[in-house]
Structure 1
Amino acid sequence: MKSGSSLPAGLLAAALALPLVGLGSPLLEVDDARYAEVPRAMAASGDWVLPSLNGMPYVEKPPLWYWTAAASQKVFGASEASARLPMLLIALLGAAGVWWLGSWLYSAGTGRAAAGATATAALWLFLTHNLTLDMPVSVFLLWTTALALRAMARPDDAHWAAPAAWLTAALGFLSKGLIALLLPGLWVVGLAVLFPKLRRGARRLLSPLGLLLFLAVVAPWFAALQRRRPDFLHTFFIEQHFQRYLTPRYGRGAPWWFFLAVLPAGLLPWTVPALVGLGRAARPLDAADFRGPALAAWVLGVAVFFSISNSKLATYVLPAFPHACLIAVVTLEEGLPRWAAKLQRSLGAVLLAAAAVAALAAGLLPARAWPPRGTSADAVRALVVLGPALLACLGAALTAAPSSHRPAVVLTAGGALAGLCLFLGLRAAAPLLSVKEAALAVRQEARAEDQLWTYGTYLHGLPFYYGRPVDKIVYFVGEFHYAKKDPAFAERFGDDQDVRALPRAAGRTFVLLRRFERPHFEKTVSGGAASIASWRAFGRWSLAEVRTR
C-alpha cells in the first residue's frame, strides 16, 4: 500500500532545531572536546594557517572546520555553544541538500520528508552535537553528489551544476581530504558505465571552470602550511591518508562487517525502509530510471570503501546517511512489503522490551555496577528516565509506523523525541563524559607557577576550560605523534621518571588520570621526594595534587 510522505512544517522545524537543546552542554571526550579546543586556540592565537592542539602543531586534518568554529568563538566568545553553533548550521545545510536532491529527483514532498528523516537518523542527530569532521565532509559530499547527479541527469544544467559540484568538493577536501574527490569520482564513473543516458552529462562534469574553482579554494592553505612545515604534505597525504587506510598503524581496526552493524543501528528509526529500498535498487536495472540505483550505489559504495580500510570508526560511514534516508522515504511512499512491516514491528517490540528491561535493571543492579561513581543523585534519576524513554520512543515509532497512512511523520516524530531524550541524557551524564568540572577546579586553584599534567591519557577539554595548555603528557601519544617527533616539544612528554622526579623546584603539580591508574601512580610518586597532598574524584577521573613532602 502506498503511503504519504508529507511532513508538517512544525514537525520538520522541531526536528531541525533539536541540536539547540544540547548546544551549551559540556564538551564530551574525546572528539567533541578536541574539535572545540583546536578552533579556540586558533582564534586565541590569531594563527589561521597552522592548527594547534595543546600548544603543539596539529596537522592531521584540513582547516575548514577550524576556521568556521574559530570564527564563531572569535565573534561570540569561547563557549560550548559558540563551538557547536557552526556544526548546527552545517547540519542544516545538509538537510537543505537532501531536501533539494529529493525535490528535483522525486517531488517536493519527498525532499521535505527526506530532510526530516536525515535530521532524526540516530547517528546523524548525535553528530550534530558531538563535534567531528565527519559531519562537514558528509554535508559537502551530499551537495557534491547532488550537483553531479543534476549535471548528469540534466546536461543542460551542467553549465552551473558542474562548477558548483567542484566547489562543494573543494569544501569537502578542506574538511577531510582526498575522499571528497575520490568517492564522488568513483561514483560518477560507475553511474556512467551503468546508465548510458547519464554519459553526456558526466562528460560535462570535466569542467575547466570547476577545476579552477577547486584549486583556487584548496591550494592556498596547502601551499602556505607546506612553507611553514616542510614535512606537512608527507604527513597529511602519506601518513594520514594512505598509511591510515592501508595499514593497521593507527590502531583503529575492526572486523570487515563493522559498518554492516553501524549503518542499520545508526539509521534508526529509518533502518527497515532504507534496507528495503537498497534491496529494491539491486533488482535488474531499468535503464530509464537511474534514481534508486544511483542513491543505493552511493550508500553501498561508501560502506564498502570504509569496510576495506584498516582504519574504522563508526562515524566514517556518515556520508551514506542522507542518501539512505532519501531511499527510506521513497520506499515508504511506495509501501513496505508485508514481511518488512512485520520486521519493523518486531524491531519496535524489541526496543520497547529493552526499554522496560533498562528501567527495571537500574533498580536491581548491584551498587558496584550502578550508578556510576561520581554521578549525582539528580543525574542518576534523569538517566534512569531518559535512557529507557529514548528506547521507548524509537520502539513506539517503529511499532506504529506500518499501520499509519503517514509513516514518515510517525518515524520523524519518534526519532525527534528520542533525540530530545539523547541530548537531555548527555547533559545529565556530563560528569562522566566531560572533564569540565576537573578543569575548572584546577583553574580556580592554580597559580602561575603551578603545572597541570595528565598521566596515561590526554583529556582534550582541559585546555578549553583550564585556559592553559597541559604542561606535560605522561605515557600518552595519541593525536600527538606528529608533535612528539619534533625535538622542540620533547619536554612536553614524559614517563614515570618524570613522576619520580617530582616535586618541581617551584609550584605544585596537578595530575589528572583515570581512576584505575591511581594505585600505580601512588606507588610511583612514593618512590621519589614528593607526596600527594590530596585526591579528588571527578567522574571517571582522579585529580592528584603533588607537592614537597
Structure 2
Amino acid sequence: MSDQISQIRRDTLVVPPLALAMLLFAGLSVLGVLLRPAMPIDETRYLTVAWEMRLSGDWLVPHLNGLPYSHKPPLLFWLINLIWLVTGPSEIAARLVAPAFGLASIWATARLARRLVPDAPEIGGHAALVLSGMLGFSFFAGLTMFDAMQVLATVLGVTALTGVATRGRAAWLGWGAALALGALAKGPVILIHLLPVALTTPLWAGIGWRQASKGLALGLLTGLGIVLLWLGPALIAGGSEYRTAVLWTQSAGRMVDSFAHQKPIWFFLAMAPLLIWPWGWSLASWRAARLPGPLAVWTFATFAIFSLISGKQAHYLLPMLPAVAIAFAPALALPRLPLGVAALVPMALALLLGAIILGFGPKEWGVAAQPLAPALLATALALTAALLVWRGGPLAALASSAIILSLSVLFLGRMTEIYDAGSLGHRLAVHDAAGVGLVGGNYAGEFNYAGRLRNPVKLFDAPEAGLAWLAECPARILVMPTARAPQEPAPSDIITFRSQTYGLWLSPDQDQQNNEACK
C-alpha cells in the first residue's frame, strides 16, 4: 500500500494540468520572443504591414512597402496597432499578440474536450497538456502569424456546434461568429476547418437535416455579415486590383496550380509525424486514442481537403491539432516509466556548461565555451526532450518545449546576426528621408519595420537602374546582392542577411541645388 501511495504522489501534478499547459506555452512564447529575432520573411513582413498601418492611419486596406497588401485580412494588424496605442511600436509587444491566441486556444480546447467527454472531467486538462506539448503547435502558435488565430476560431466554432441540439439558433449564431473571426484572421480558408463539421451535424449532433440546413444558412449569413463590415468598405477603398486579388486571386489562386507554396499531394502525410510529435510516435497513444463527436470529421476532412489543394505549408494544419490533442488525451492516464539515472546526464551537461560560462573553472575553458555555448545548451535540451518522451505521461508535454527552446537558444549566437533584420534596418534608417533602394524582386518588407522606415523602399530589377537612381541625389543608399553587383563601383560595406551577402552603396557627394530628382 505504501508503494502505491508513493507512486500516486510521484505521478500527481502539483499544478493542475490546464494551468500547467498554459504556463508552459506562455513561458515558451515569451522566451522565444526574447531569445530570437523576428524571423524573415513572414514575421518581419507582418510587422511591417502593421507598422505601415500605424504610419498611414488606414485601417481598412493593409499596405506593404507602400502598396495594398491583399494576401491577408487585417485582424492581426488591427490588434498589434491597438497594443501599440499603449506600448508604442514595441516589437516584443507586437510579437506577443499572436501567441496570446495560442494561449486562448489551449483553454478553449480544454473546454471543448470536457463538453465532448462529460463523464471524464480530467479530459480537459489532459487535452490542454497534449496540445501545448505538441511540436507543431508549440512552434507555430508562438510565431507572429495567423494560424493561432485560426486555431481559436476553429475550436470556438466546433464548440458552438456541439450545442446545436440544445441551444438551436444561438449555437448557429456562435458558429457564424467563429467563421467571421477566422475569416478576418486569415480569410475564407476557415471554411475548410468548420464547414465539414457543420455539414455533418445530423450524423453526430443529434439534429435533423432540415434543422441543420436552416442553421447552416443562418451561420453563414451571420459570418458573412460581420466580415462585410470590413470587407465592403475595404473593397471600395482598395481599388480594382485589390478587389480582384481579395475576391479571387488569394483564394482560388491557391487551390489549383497555386502561385505560392506548391507541394505534392503527400506533403501533409510526410509532415504529420513532426506536427504531432511526441504523441503520434507512441503506439500506446494510438491505442488509447478516441474520436468522440465531430473529431473524426474535423481531422480527416481537414487533412484530405488540404492535401488536395495545390498550395501547402506545414502550419496550414494547425487548426486541426486541437482535435488530435483531444483524441490523444486519454494516453496521459497510461502508466509512466521512471526517469532513472539517465536523466542526470543532460541536466549535468547543462549545469556544467552554465558554470563554465559564468567563470567557474579555468579562464581558458570559459573562452572556449562561449562560441559553443548555444549549440551545447541546445544539445542538452534536446537530450532532455528525448528522456521526457521516453518517460511519457504529463512530463512528455515538456519535450516539445525543450526542443523549441533549444532552437531559440541557437539564435543567441551567429544565427541572430544572420537572421536579424534589425542590424541592416538601422543602417538604412539613416537614409530614410533621402531614399533607400534595393536591387531584387523578392522583397517582402524585411527592413521597413526593423528600421522604422517611414518611406517605401525603392525596388529595382537591374543593378544599373539602381546605381543610376543612387547617383541622382545625395544621402541615398542602395542595397544589392554582391552576386549581382558590377565590379565598379565597389560597395562601401558588406553585410550578410539570410545567408546571402549584400553590398551597401552610398550616393556620391554632390550639390543638391536645382536637382529636380531630389524634390
TM-score when normalising by structure 1: 0.76
Deviation of 1:30 after TM superposition, in Å, equals 0.9
Q: After alignment, is 205-214 or 36-45 more displaced?
A: 205-214
Counterpart-to-counterpart distance in 2, 1:245 and 1:178: 12
Letter in 1 for 2:389: L
1:178 aligns with 2:188: yes
Counterpart in the other structure of 1:133: 146
Alignment counterpart, residue 421 of structure 1, candidates 370, 390, 406: 406
Cα pair 2:141 2:148 within 8 Å, conserved: yes
Alignment of 1:507-518 (within 5 A): 507-513=474-480, 517-518=481-482
Measure, in 2, the Cα distance between the counterparts of 1:543 and 1:65: 31
Which amino acid in the other structure matches residue 518 of structure 1?
Answer: T
Cα deviation per residue 1:375-411 (whole Å; 9 max; x = unaligned)? x99884243124323432331122111xxxxx1x121
Contact 1:147 1:161 in 2 (8 A): yes
The answer on 1:520 being equivalent to 2:487 is: no
Percent identity for Structure 1 against Structure 2: 20
1:5-154 correspondence runs (5 A): 8-9=15-16, 11-18=20-27, 19-24=29-34, 25-106=36-117, 107-151=120-164
Give the Å deviation of 1:450.
4.4
SS at match of 2:37: coil
Aligned match for 1:197, one of 206, 210, 215: 206
CA contact (8 A) 1:386 1:422 kept: no
How far is the alpha carbon of 1:94 from its aligned partner?
0.6
User: Could you say if the C-alpha distance between residues 13 and 540 of structure 1 is closer, same or farther in structure 2, counting changes exceeding 3 Å?
Assistant: same
SS at match of 2:122: helix
Residue 7 of structure 1, CA deviation: 8.0
The residue number in structure 2 matching 1:306 is 306
Aligned-pair CA distance for 1:273: 5.2
Alpha-carbon offset, residue 207 of structure 1: 6.4
CA distance in 1, matches of 2:167, 2:390: 43
1:6, distance to aligned residue in structure 2 (A): 6.9
Distance in 1, Cα, partners of 2:195 & 2:171: 15
Matched, 1:535 2:498: no
CA contact (8 A) 1:29 1:460 kept: no
Please report how far the alpha carbon of residue 245 of structure 1 lies from its aligned counterpart in structure 2 after TM superposition. 1.0
Partner SS for 2:96: helix
Q: CA contact under 8 A between 2:438 and 2:459: conserved in structure 1?
A: yes
1:219 aligns with 2:186: no
2:181 aligned partner, one-letter code: L
Three-state SS of the structure 2 residue aligned to 1:187 is: helix
Ranges in structure 2 where 5+ consecutive residues have no aligned partner: 1-7, 351-366, 510-519
Q: Distance in 1 between matches of 2:275 and 2:432?
A: 45
1:473 maps to 459
* 2:167 equivalent in structure 1: 157
Matched residue type, 1:315: H
SS in 2 for 1:123: helix
Q: 1:296 to 1:277 in 2, by over 3 A?
A: farther
* Pair 1:386–1:99, CA change in 2 (3 A): same
Query: Partners of 1:36 and 1:448 in 2: how far apart?
Result: 21
Aligned to 2:354: none
Q: Which one-letter code corresponds to 2:189 in the other structure?
A: I
Aligned length: 467
CA displacement 1:345-404 (0-9 Å, x = unmatched) = 9xxx9xxx9x9xxx9xxxxxxxxxxxxxxxx99884243124323432331122111xxx
Q: State the partner residue of 1:323.
A: 323
Shift of residue 418, structure 1, vs aligned partner = 3.1
Q: Is the 8 A contact 2:418 2:498 kept in 1?
A: yes
Q: What is the letter of the counterpart of residue 218 of structure 1?
A: V
Q: Does 1:187 align with 2:146?
A: no
Shift of 1:219: 0.6
Cα contact 1:387–1:421 (8 A) shared by 2? yes
In 2 relative to 1, CA 84–537 (structure 1 residues): closer, same or farther, beyond 3 Å? closer
SS in 2 for 1:465: coil
Conserved 8 A contact 2:161-2:201: no
Taking structure 1 as reference, are residues 318 and 117 closer, same or farther at Cα in structure 2, changes over 3 Å only?
same
- Quote the residue 1:438 is aligned against: 424
Q: 1:317-364: CA deviations, max 9, x gaps?
A: 11111111111112444x59xxxx99xx9xxx9xxx9x9xxx9xxxxx
Is the Cα contact below 8 Å between 2:22 and 2:106 reproduced in 1? no
Q: Distance between the aligned counterparts of 1:239 and 1:377, measured in 2?
A: 54
- Cα deviation for residue 299 of structure 1 reads 1.6
Distance between the aligned counterparts of 1:541 and 1:247, measured in 2?
A: 29
Would the aligned equivalents of 1:450 and 1:509 in 2 still touch at CA under 8 Å? yes
1:504 counterpart (466, 471, 486) = 471
1:111: how far off?
A: 0.8
Q: Secondary structure of the equivalent of 1:247?
A: coil
In structure 2, C-alpha distance between the alignment counterparts of 1:207 and 1:142, rounded to whole Å:
17
Q: Structure 1: any 5+ residue segments left out of the alignment?
A: 282-290, 360-375, 402-406, 475-493
1:407-448 Cα offsets, whole Å, 9 max, x none, are 1x12123233333333333454322222111112332x4373
Query: Are residues 447 and 221 of structure 1, via their aligned partners in 2, closer, same or farther at CA, if it must alter by over 3 Å?
Result: closer
Q: Is the contact made by 1:502 and 1:525 (CA closer than 8 Å) also made in structure 2?
A: no
TM-superposed CA distance for 1:191, in Å, is 5.0
CA distance in 1, matches of 2:470, 2:41: 30
Query: Which position in structure 1 is the counterpart of 2:384?
Result: 393
Coordinate RMSD, CA, aligned: 3.4
Would the alpha carbon gap of residues 293 and 245 (structure 1) be closer, same or farther in structure 2, given more than 3 Å must change?
same
Assess, with a 3 A threshold, how the Cα gap between structure 1 residues 318 and 208 changes in structure 2: closer, same or farther: closer
